[in-house]
Amino acid sequence: GAVVSQHPSWVICKSGTSVKIECRSLDFQATTMFWYRQFPKQSLMLMATSNEGSKATYEQGVEKDKFLINHASLTLSTLTVTSAHPEDSSFYICSASGPVPYEQYFGPGTRLTVT
Amino acid sequence: AQSVAQPEDQVNVAEGNPLTVKCTYSVSGNPYLFWYVQYPNRGLQFLLKYITGDNLVKGSYGFEAEFNKSQTSFHLKKPSALVSDSALYFCAVRDVPGGYNKLIFGAGTRLAVHP
């Protein structure tokens, strides 16, 4: 139980284009989802917290116009990287608050490469 | 401010030997502590958590952690390491002021178990 999926698992896009990453809770309803970014051999950096039906809350230093987050349903949140640049290349991981209090369930991650 | 520290970048241990991965924390109020493991190019997997109760917490894959309030530590342990335990381990603390069950992660410790 409490499975989170991400799609795609990896994506390559050209500089200047936009790419959308989906995060789904498969067997539970997630009122809150989190988006993280992870650089090689580094820890997870929280980018934003999204709640179903409301605007996402972005962490300091994260450009909300560049990283668009939508949490349209209790099982789906999307992260759109707009006008991607090579420095946006990273591993993006989502997580969701699930049925067990205080626990987060993580997706498998999406590796984005911008050429 | 809430924070968590993992003082070791890497821990090396021989297969069959006990392992310890260290974590110390700083929180205001009662700590909610977690351990996650990450395999290459994968999301995080939950190992165990301490919310309240017994100081020795047992988790997945034979791991356990000991909560020590006086030393503000939450070290991860396993009596007998396996080569398959080789991975990146993250300690995390719940960011209570941040709300929404946000987690603050340590820098991570890479565990290498040698045959």
DSSP 8-state secondary structure symbol assigned to residue A59: P
The pLDDT tens digits of the residues spanning A72-113 come to 889 999 999 999 999 999 999 999 987 777 788 999 999 999
The pLDDT tens digits of the residues spanning B56-100 come to 999 999 999 999 999 999 999 999 999 999 999 999 998 776 666
Residues of chain B positioned with their CB less than 8 A from the CB of A103? 34, 46, 49
pLDDT band at A14 (very low <50, low <70, confident <90, very high): very high
Tell if the CB–CB gap between A32 and B100 is shorter than 8 Å.
Answer: yes
Residue A65 above 80 pLDDT?
yes
pLDDT at B98: 61
β-pairing, B73-78 with B87-94?
A: unpaired
Q: Which amino acid is at A47?
A: M
Which carries the bigger pLDDT value, residue B64 or residue A43? B64
* A58-70 burial: b if 16+ Cβ within 10 Å, else e: bbeebeeeebbbe
DSSP 8-state secondary structure symbol assigned to residue B74: E
The pLDDT tens digits of the residues spanning B40-67 come to 878 889 999 998 889 999 999 999 999 9
Tell if the CB–CB gap between A93 and B43 is shorter than 8 Å.
Answer: yes
Total length of chain B: 115
Q: Which residues, at least 6 apart from B20, have a Cβ–Cβ distance to it below 8 Å? A: B11, B75, B76, B77
**A108 in contact with B at a CB cutoff of 8 Å?**
yes
Q: Report the residue from A32, A46, A107 with minimal CB separation from B43.
A: A107
Residues of chain B positioned with their CB less than 8 A from the CB of A109? 41-43
Q: Report the residue from B32, B105, B106 with minimal CB separation from A102.
A: B32
> What is the rounded distance in angstroms from the CA atom of residue B41 to the CA atom of residue A69?
23
Least confident interval from A12-16, A39-43, A48-52, B1-5? A39-43
CB B67 within 8 A of CB B50: yes
**A28 in contact with B at a CB cutoff of 8 Å?**
no
Residue B32 above 70 pLDDT?
yes
Closest CA to A76 of A30, A8, A24: A24
> What is the rounded distance in angstroms from the CA atom of residue A13 to the CA atom of residue A39?
18
**B42 in contact with A at a CB cutoff of 8 Å?**
yes
